[in-house]
Structure 1
Amino acid sequence: MTITYALIQMLEKVAEKTNRARIVTKAEVYKLLVNAGTVVGCEYKKAGKTVKEFGPMVLASGGFGADFGADSLLATYRPDLLHLPTTNGEHCTGDAIKMGEAIGAATIDLEWVQVHPTGLVKPDDPDAKVKFLAAEALRGVGGIVLDANGDRFCNELGRRDYVTGEMWKNKPPFRLCLNKAAADEIIWHAKHYTGRGVMKFYASGEDLAKDMGVPLQKIVDAHQKHFEAAKKQEKVVASSA
């Protein structure tokens, strides 16, 4: 997100200085223009009008994780994932890929769809198909993942496919929990997610345990297990250094 924003800012600065770069907003590109087998431009709609733009074309519209239709790319290449929500954003519907396919462009590796283990569920809209992404930094600072029984069941710093795989084996719903030290280290994210209504502050571990419906000792044991694992990892890194 940060890289994309920086690129957009740079493009805006270029557009301010020269007429050779223009930014067209609130427009929908829906067709590539072809002449003698070569792409020569595109066609888009803006304010009820159809506009043709000629020149070299670069397609950069993101993935297709938010296209859940029966004829979607997700249904074609990974129908087993259609039941999952996405953190890609509502705009990621594979339009540019479909435009390319429509003129005979080849695709590759579309079946390699990554399942991110931590999407944040909004309590007042739990079935929303588009979720907020829980940044890996939340786990990096010491956040632990607990299953419905209050058990810690994986190494939170493992690869995404590993963490996701372990979640499949355990009982949902899952909770990503940060103690005060971890939350303070990443306070901007904590405040942002709390403000969005996808993270909740608990005054104590006892309050969390009550909300989860598990014994407090379960939460204590999970944190202790994580603390001991982290200490072992520190020793391994120190000895290898």
Structure 2
Amino acid sequence: AKKEGSVQILSGHKAEKLIYEHGKVVGVEVLRLKDDVRISLQAPRTVLATGGFASDRSQGSYLDRHRPELMNMAATAGTFSTGDGIEMATAIGAGLVDMDKVQIHPTGWVNPTDPNNTEKVLAAELMRGVGGVLINHRGERFCNELGTRAYVTDKMLGHNPTYVRTSKWDPSAVVPTFSLVLSSSAAADGRKHVDLYVHKGLLFELHGIAALADFLGVPTTRARDTLRQYREDAAAGRDR
């Protein structure tokens, strides 16, 4: 256990159920993992802060029940995000609302050594905030990078014809990988994040338009025109 001030953090423990007596939650029962000993922790107030459920893709999971079309979509939620806290609450009669409101974060890094892994490292919005440019497989900028998550996600999914026709995500759909391109000055502004992503092998340093075009698999003229248009729009204060 780690204690700082009035907060005691119990690592190596798993919360298993809420202690419910006389219509009130009076604590939580936890499992001490090192020896499988169950401990009852009494408390005048109990706060559930256990995250979501996007990592549980099993049949009958919350994701399967409420947003089955997202079962095959990659997520940035950690392996802890399995809905255990929600289960503890419903076990004592708590009601649930808005379980279908699963937000899709538009940017998660594709690991080139494990591209099909459905657990992605989140590409922080700071990367777009400092000037990162989103470019599609044709070498085109296709959205305002500072738009809402829903807006940017919609622009990405719009690269799939089925989504364009129905406005619904098709679990079997194929959407191309997008690239997040930062100038040297933008990278400097996001240095802490950039260094982390480079260290993880998710972000690469390229020198010159030709190298970028080769990485994107598009003509050099296309990459040059896209970035030139972006600079001109930025200078003129135009949003696209």
Smaller-chain TM-score bracket: 0.7 to 0.9
Partner of 1:28: 14
**Paired residue secondary structure (2:237):** helix
Q: Give the superposition deviation at 1:83.
A: 1.3
Amino acid at match of 1:221: D
The AA in structure 2 aligned to 1:119 is G
Quote how far apart the aligned CAs of 1:163 are. 0.6
Match of 1:4 in 2: none
How far 1:116 sits from its partner (Å)?
A: 0.8
State the aligned residue count.
Answer: 220
Tell me what 1:217 maps to: 221
> In terms of mean alpha carbon deviation, does 178-187 or 214-223 score higher?
178-187
TM-score scaled by structure 2? Answer: 0.85
2:80 to 79, 91, 100: 91
Mean CA deviation greater in 46-55 or 153-162:
46-55
Q: Which residues in structure 2 correspond to 1:24-103 (within 5 Å)?
A: 24-46=10-32, 47=34, 48-55=36-43, 56-103=45-92
- The equivalent residue for 2:162 is none
Does 1:204 pair with 2:208?
A: yes
1:157 and 2:143 correspond: no
1:40-93 Cα offsets, whole Å, 9 max, x none, are 222111121111122232111111122212122111211121111211211111
Q: Please give the alpha-carbon distance, in whole angstroms, between the structure 1 residues aligned to 2:3 and 2:73.
A: 36
- Mapped to 1, the partners of 2:71 and 2:235 lie a distance apart of 39
Deviation for aligned residue 1:197: 1.0
- TM-score with structure 1 setting the length: 0.85
Once the 2 structures are TM-superposed, how far is the Cα of residue 12 of structure 1 from its aligned partner?
4.5
Offset at residue 98 of structure 1 (A): 1.2
> Structure 1 vs Structure 2: percent identity of aligned residues?
37
Q: CA deviation at 1:166?
A: 0.5
- More helix, by proportion: 1
> What amino acid sits opposite 2:193 in the alignment?
H
Matching residue of 2:237: 233
- Segment of structure 1 superposing worse, 133-142 or 36-45: 36-45
Gaps of 5+ in 2: 160-174
Cα deviation 1:184-220 (Å, max 9, x = unaligned): 2222211111001111111222112112221011111
2:62 and 2:87 map into 1 onto residues whose CA distance is 8
Output the aligned Cα RMSD.
Answer: 1.8
Amino acid at match of 1:72: S
Pick aligned residue for 1:13 from 4, 13, 18: 4
- The 1:12/1:231 distance shift into structure 2, 3 A limit, reads farther
For residue 114 of structure 2, what is the aligned residue in structure 1? 125
**Structure 1 residues without counterparts, runs of 5 or longer:** 1-10, 16-20, 237-241
Deviation at 1:146, TM superposition (A): 0.9
| TM-superposed deviation, 1:228 | 2.3
Match of 2:137 in 1: 148
SS in 1 for 2:188: helix
Output the CA distance in 1 between the equivalents of 2:228 and 2:73.
32
| In structure 1, distance between residues paired with 2:40 and 2:210 | 62
Which residue in 1 is equivalent to 2:166? Answer: none
Give 2:187's match in structure 1, choosing from 183, 190, 202: 183
